[in-house]
């Protein structure tokens, strides 16, 4: 079966490669010609486990190609997935839908025969009718274009696995859809046949599903981080508390790791976008819980800055701080709304000299924060440091021998914001340790 994927970022490039893996003929489309060139050489323009292998395999097999031409995409297939980014607006908490509406408006003139446009981008509820209207207005095939809503639940660093083996598929349609459902069922054939729960619903429920899922995940993280605040005052240990709670299967242990809170290109902006849309719809009270989740999350970042000042004195001028971690989470080079970089920048703004190390995200971080210093080797990074902050829990960091590390620094002090360092071992090696969520 032939299909296109419009927008080849983290979501679209992965979706295109995985659709080729399922046996389809796929044309990925992105207006960034450099990105298209890189993808056509079988490489991802970002780091995502297993993705390069799939891209190389299918650009070579000929099942996967990329283009920067909307016209070529429109001609290529009758099923078009759209996975462009919907970031937060720079001056408000609402979604910026410019890329989505731009992609639909540019694809539309080439749609001269009936087609299905299946949107995967995360949006505020109520966007699907606007997409359908744009297609009616700008596509020669007008009313014969069907719109489907197919939210994506993949996690970065597990993107390929989550796309090929999702825990559910959600397909949203209007009441009048003659072949959109059939085409999507064919596209996801192998995934559906393997027993993946497939929920067919209306547009609004499908749109809400994504925002609600991310809002729930964010709230779960903020819940345990709120408990961390209480643990710090009560002399309790939040890691053990999370473990105890997690044994109750109604609570579950996954997605409830305490620490520096959530970041990335999705959870923070989806929580804020959801609140904004709920307010617009007159359901602002229902979003109160999300306002609190967002506030707890922001407080975690401030807490690390406060702890650093407790250790080094309120005046940070002339102090040298090393930060382990720049990516918003391990396993990715994505630094969008990275808690680690937010803390690093805040410390720099207070006068500290900040040196950062990260296994994958240094180039991206350097571009966005040129005023900070960067070192590749996490051992070398602590030389001259007055304080070490562990802010992104790459496994590489927890494998470092604290005794060898202590020999490299004149001031063995560490704050573990992610709870994955064995602080008993670090203390035995001579380090003064502090951690979030315990005394």
CA atoms of 183 and 268, how far apart (whole Å): 33
Vertex 275: Cα angle to 134 and 97 (nearest 5) = 25
Is residue 12 within the footprint of ligand UGA (CB under 6 A)?
no
Is residue 437 within the footprint of ligand UGA (CB under 6 A)?
no
Beta carbon nearer to ligand UGA, 412 or 437: 437
In this structure, the number of other CB atoms found within 10 A of the CB of residue 400 comes to 16
Sole window of 22-30, 127-135, 189-197, 260-268 interacting with ligand UGA (rule: CB under 6 A) = 260-268
Taking CB under 6 A as the criterion, the residue among 67, 214, 355, 433 binding ligand UGA is 214
The helix or strand, by DSSP H or E, that contains position 295, with its residue range, turns out to be helix 288-312
Beta carbon nearer to ligand UGA, 167 or 285: 167
CA atoms of 266 and 281, how far apart (whole Å): 22
Beta carbon nearer to ligand UGA, 312 or 326: 326
Is residue 259 within the footprint of ligand UGA (CB under 6 A)?
yes
| Least separation in angstroms between CB 170 and ligand UGA | 12
Q: What's the helix, strand, coil split of the chain in %, to 5?
A: 45, 15, 40
Would you give the DSSP letter of residue 155?
P
| Binding mask of the shown chain, residues 312 to 341, with x at each position contacting ligand UGA by CB under 6 A | ----------------xx------------
Is residue 95 within the footprint of ligand UGA (CB under 6 A)?
no
Is residue 221 within the footprint of ligand UGA (CB under 6 A)?
yes
Is residue 7 within the footprint of ligand UGA (CB under 6 A)?
no
Longest dimension (CA), the chain: 72
| Least separation in angstroms between CB 379 and ligand UGA | 24
Would you give the DSSP letter of residue 434?
E
Q: Which long-range contacts (CB under 8 A, 24 or more apart) does 401-410 make?
A: 401/429, 402/426, 402/428, 402/429, 402/430, 402/431, 403/429, 403/430, 404/379, 405/379, 405/429, 406/430, 406/431, 408/379, 408/380, 408/382, 408/383, 409/382, 409/383, 409/384, 409/385, 410/384
3-class secondary-structure state, position 377: coil
| Binding mask of the shown chain, residues 354 to 393, with x at each position contacting ligand UGA by CB under 6 A | ----------------------------------------
Taking CB under 6 A as the criterion, the residue among 6, 84, 256, 347 binding ligand UGA is 256
Is residue 163 within the footprint of ligand UGA (CB under 6 A)?
no
Vertex 216: Cα angle to 214 and 218 (nearest 5) = 70
Task: Measure Cα distances from 53 to 18, 21, 42, 158, 325 in Å.
Answer: 11, 11, 8, 14, 26
Sole window of 87-95, 185-193, 254-262, 366-374 interacting with ligand UGA (rule: CB under 6 A) = 254-262
| Least separation in angstroms between CB 153 and ligand UGA | 4
Sole window of 28-36, 43-51, 148-156, 428-436 interacting with ligand UGA (rule: CB under 6 A) = 148-156
| Active site members | 266
Q: Using CB under 6 A as the criterion, which residues of the chain lie in contact with ligand UGA when the complex forms?
A: 122, 152-156, 214, 217, 221, 255-257, 259, 261-264, 266-267, 328-329
């Amino acid at each position: 079966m032939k299909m296109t994927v419009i927008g080849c970022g983290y979501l679209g490039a992965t979706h295109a490669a995985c659709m080729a893996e399922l046996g389809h003929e796929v044309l990925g489309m992105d207006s960034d010609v450099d990105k298209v060139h890189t993808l056509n050489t079988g490489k991802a323009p970002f780091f995502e486990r297993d993705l390069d292998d799939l891209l190389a395999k299918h650009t070579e097999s000929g099942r996967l190609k990329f283009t920067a031409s909307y016209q070529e995409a429109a001609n290529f297939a009758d099923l078009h997935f759209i996975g462009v980014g919907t970031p937060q607006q720079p001056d408000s908490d609402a979604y910026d839908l410019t890329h989505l509406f731009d992609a639909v408006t540019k694809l539309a003139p080439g749609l001269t025969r009936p087609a299905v446009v299946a949107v995967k981008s995360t949006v505020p509820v109520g966007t699907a009718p606007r997409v359908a209207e744009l297609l009616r207005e700008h596509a020669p095939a007008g009313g014969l274009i069907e719109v489907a809503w197919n939210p994506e639940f993949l996690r970065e660093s597990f993107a390929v696995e989550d796309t090929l083996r999702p825990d559910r598929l959600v397909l949203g349609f209007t009441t009048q859809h003659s072949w959109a459902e059939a085409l999507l069922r064919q596209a996801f054939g192998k995934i559906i046949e393997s027993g993946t729960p497939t929920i067919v619903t209306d547009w609004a429920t499908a749109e809400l599903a994504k925002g609600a899922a991310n809002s729930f995940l964010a709230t779960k993280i903020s819940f345990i981080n709120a408990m961390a605040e209480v643990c710090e005052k009560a002399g309790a240990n939040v890691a053990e508390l999370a473990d105890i709670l997690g044994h109750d299967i109604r609570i579950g242990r996954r997605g409830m790791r305490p620490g520096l809170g959530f970041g990335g290109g999705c959870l923070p902006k989806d929580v804020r976008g959801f609140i904004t849309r709920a307010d617009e719809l007159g359901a602002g009270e229902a979003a109160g819980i999300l306002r609190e989740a967002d506030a707890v999350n922001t407080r975690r970042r401030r807490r690390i800055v406060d702890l650093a000042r407790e250790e080094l004195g309120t005046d940070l001028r002339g102090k040298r701080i090393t930060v382990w971690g720049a990516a918003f989470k391990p396993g990715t080079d994505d630094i969008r709304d990275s808690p680690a970089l937010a803390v690093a920048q805040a410390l720099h703004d207070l006068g500290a000299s900040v040196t950062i190390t990260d296994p994958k995200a240094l180039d991206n971080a350097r571009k966005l924060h040129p005023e900070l210093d960067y070192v590749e080797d996490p051992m070398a990074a602590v030389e001259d440091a007055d304080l070490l902050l562990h802010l992104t829990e790459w496994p590489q960091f927890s494998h470092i021998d604290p005794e060898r590390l202590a020999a490299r620094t004149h001031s063995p002090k560490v704050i573990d914001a992610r709870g994955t360092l064995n602080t008993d071992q670090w203390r035995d090696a001579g380090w003064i340790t502090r951690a979030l969520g315990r005394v």
